[in-house]
């Protein structure tokens, strides 16, 4: 049985006060669940959020990192800097990074390797655009993305990687993939991991779904055999909506 893993991606949201208030509302409520949880606040709130989550089950994630450890990259943040703050997980390859910052599969692969080298975990995102889905290419796209992202990564390192399937057309749009459609692509991704590594690696891989996950649709999504959790954007910004998602099985 794979453990369910629910993560909140706050994107460009959250003053320090908002971040502290939200985390303080989440931690006591999540205490008794056997699921795994994470919040990924903006960089400016990482330190404060880490402090508040000490001794709790809530993991802290960063939303990106540089592909370099140090150097001339104005505005970027490195893995060692995130590690120093106590960050547990780095989200990589999010479609907004690909769309607005021109990130390629090759760059995402470099970042994954760097994060693993420093012993942190990765949530690796992939997913097709609306045009790709309409052209019948959803499976082809995620297979290509997964192969490129995992190039040069050992089977032992997979334990530190979660995959988040996020169809781009479902992110922030209110359109959710049907549980069946999502599960179909999750199976394609799992099969790709099997071909690249082994059946054991594929069976163990946690694959989250992301894209307009809400309290109203979370149960049906999590009931699918290959959906092992969620990467939540908009609905993770309020305890009122994030907690029912985290605790969907209670
Ligand atoms: P959303 O975002 O839940 O607001 O659709 C998901 C994501 O981008 O991770």
Q: CA-to-CA distance for 229 and 3, rounded, in angstroms? A: 8
Ligand 1 neighbourhood includes 242 CB (under 6 angstroms):
no
Beta carbon of 212 within 6 Å of any ligand 1 atom:
yes
The length of the chain is: 250
| Mean pLDDT of the chain, nearest integer | 97
pLDDT at 79 over 90: yes
Q: What pLDDT is attached to residue 218?
A: 98
Looking at per-residue confidence, does 59 or 175 come out higher? 59
101 is annotated as an active-site residue: no
| pLDDT surpassing 90 at residue 58 | yes
For residue 154, the model assigns a pLDDT of 98
Determine the residue of 12, 94, 172 to mutate for testing ligand 1's pocket, defined as the one with the most ligand atoms within 8 A of the Cβ atom. 172
SS3 38: strand
Q: Which of 233, 237, 238 to mutate to test the pocket of ligand 1 (most atoms within 8 A of CB)?
A: 233
| Three-state SS at 91 | strand
What is the spatial distance between Cα 89 and Cα 123, in angstroms, rounded to a whole number?
Answer: 7
- Put simply, whether the predicted model's pTM sits higher than 0.75 gets the answer yes
Tell whether the model's pLDDT for residue 236 goes beyond 90. yes
Pocket flag, ligand 1, residue 171 (CB < 6 Å): yes
Q: How confident is the model at residue 174 (pLDDT cuts 50, 70, 90)?
A: confident
Is the model's pLDDT at 176 over the cut of 90? no
Please check the confidence at residue 228 and state whether its pLDDT lies above 90.
yes
| pLDDT interval class at 175 (50, 70, 90) | confident
pLDDT at 138: 96
Domains and CATH numbers, the chain: 5-246 (3.20.20.70)
Rounded mean pLDDT, 49-77: 96
Rg (CA), the chain: 17
Please compute the mean of the pLDDT values over residues 177-205 and round it to a whole number: 97
216 is catalytic: no
- Please report, rounded to a whole number, the percentage of residues in the chain having pLDDT higher than 90: 96
**DSSP letters spanning 219-232:** HHHHTSTT--EEEE
Q: What is the pLDDT of residues 150-163, one digit of tens each?
A: 999 999 999 999 99
pLDDT at 43 over 90: yes
Q: Has residue 76 got a pLDDT over 90?
A: yes
Measured from the Cα of 212, ligand 1's closest atom is 5
Please write the tens of the pLDDT for every residue from 113-143. 999 999 999 999 999 999 999 999 999 999 9
Catalytic residue among 121, 166, 186, 216, which?
Answer: 166
Query: What does the pLDDT read at residue 177?
Result: 86
CA 210–ligand 1 middle distance (angstroms): 6
132-164 as b/e, with b when 16 or more CB fall inside 10 Å? bbeeeebbebbbebbeebbeebeeeebeebbbb
Kindly state if the Cβ of 222 falls inside 6 Å of ligand 1. no
Percent of the chain with pLDDT over 70: 100
Query: Looking at the predicted structure, is the pLDDT value of residue 172 above 90?
Result: no
């Amino acid at each position: 049985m794979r453990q369910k893993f629910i993560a909140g991606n706050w994107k460009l949201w959250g003053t320090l006060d908002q971040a502290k208030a939200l985390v303080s509302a989440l931690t006591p409520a999540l205490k008794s669940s056997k699921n795994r949880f994470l919040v990924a606040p903006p960089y400016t709130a990482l330190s404060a959020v880490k402090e508040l989550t000490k001794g709790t089950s809530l993991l802290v994630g960063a939303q990106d990192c540089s592909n370099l450890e140090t150097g001339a990259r104005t505005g970027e943040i490195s893995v060692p800097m995130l590690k120093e703050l106590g960050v547990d997980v780095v989200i990589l390859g999010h479609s907004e990074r690909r769309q607005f910052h021109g990130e390629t599969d090759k760059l995402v692969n470099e970042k994954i390797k760097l994060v693993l080298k420093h012993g942190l975990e990765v949530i690796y995102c992939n997913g097709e655009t609306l045009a790709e889905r309409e052209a019948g290419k959803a499976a082809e796209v995620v297979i290509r993305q997964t192969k490129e992202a995992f190039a040069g990564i050992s089977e032992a390192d997979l334990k530190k990687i979660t995959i988040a399937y996020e169809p781009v057309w479902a992110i922030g749009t209110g359109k959710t993939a049907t549980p069946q459609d999502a599960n179909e692509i999750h199976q394609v991704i799992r099969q790709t991991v099997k071909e690249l590594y082994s059946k054991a690696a594929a069976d163990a891989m946690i694959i989250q779904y992301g894209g307009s996950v809400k309290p109203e649709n979370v149960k049906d999504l999590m009931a699918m055999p290959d959906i092992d959790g969620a990467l939540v954007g908009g609905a993770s910004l309020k305890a009122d909506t994030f907690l029912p998602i985290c605790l969907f099985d209670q």
